Amino acid sequence: MTERSHGAMRPSLPQSYELPAAIEPVRSRTEGRDAAGRFVSGNPWAPGNRWRQLIAEGLGRHTQHDSDVARDLSRRAYRYFRSFLRDLPIDSATTRSLTAQRARAAALADFYGLEAARLQLTSAEALKAAEAAAKWCQRAERLAVTTLDIASRLATAARAHGDDDLAASRRVFQQQLAERQAAARPALADATERKDPSP
């Protein structure tokens, strides 16, 4: 920034309102560790590690595969998974689980599509593979829409309440559960009255 001073253009200091918002310091990787580098109880890196590991294992991550096909499918699904996650506005157990299902469906659609092409797309086996590929594509498309919708709701809840991703996921789940229970109460009460009417 410059300003004119005594007939010359000179650099000027920015005003406080022109400065960017304060940036949160990056958390130290040694935080929550002992002198030997091992994690201690209550460290900030532990929350969420278990369910993240379970979802990754469901995609075949860190798993011994008995065939090259299974290994290729696992690798492809996990790469899809990491790529799809970057498109979402929030990262939580719900969105990761749905994204893992979408990645698996996309990988299987690729597999059957390539298999149909290998079989020249004319034989009965090729047509069956093409049909399977189309079904897995539809599955992946439906999961893409569902995941983005839920992720957007979770992100909105997180921004509204200042929650982190996990707290927002719990809040939305509890809200949806309460709405379903409230909607089911009239029907349950009506069924009870019909079954055992008062004299």
- On the question of pLDDT at 41 being above 70, the answer is no
pTM: 0.59
Per domain, the residue ranges of the chain are 68-164
Token digits for 97? 């689980």
Measured CA to CA, the distance from residue 76 to residue 73 in angstroms comes to 5
Q: Quote the mean pLDDT of the chain.
A: 76
Report pLDDT for 30: 62
Measured CA to CA, the distance from residue 13 to residue 105 in angstroms comes to 55
Which amino acid is it at 166? Answer: L
Report pLDDT for 83: 92
What are the CA-CA distances from residue 80 to residues 30, 56, 84, 127 (Å)?
31, 12, 6, 26
DSSP state of 33: B
- On the question of pLDDT at 23 being above 50, the answer is no
- On the question of pLDDT at 161 being above 80, the answer is no
Report pLDDT for 93: 84
> What's the pLDDT band for 65 if we cut at 50, 70, 90?
confident
Using alpha carbons only, what angle is made at residue 105 by residues 104 and 109, rounded to the nearest 5 degrees? 120
Measured CA to CA, the distance from residue 146 to residue 144 in angstroms comes to 6
More confident residue, 44 or 53: 53
Measured CA to CA, the distance from residue 106 to residue 112 in angstroms comes to 10
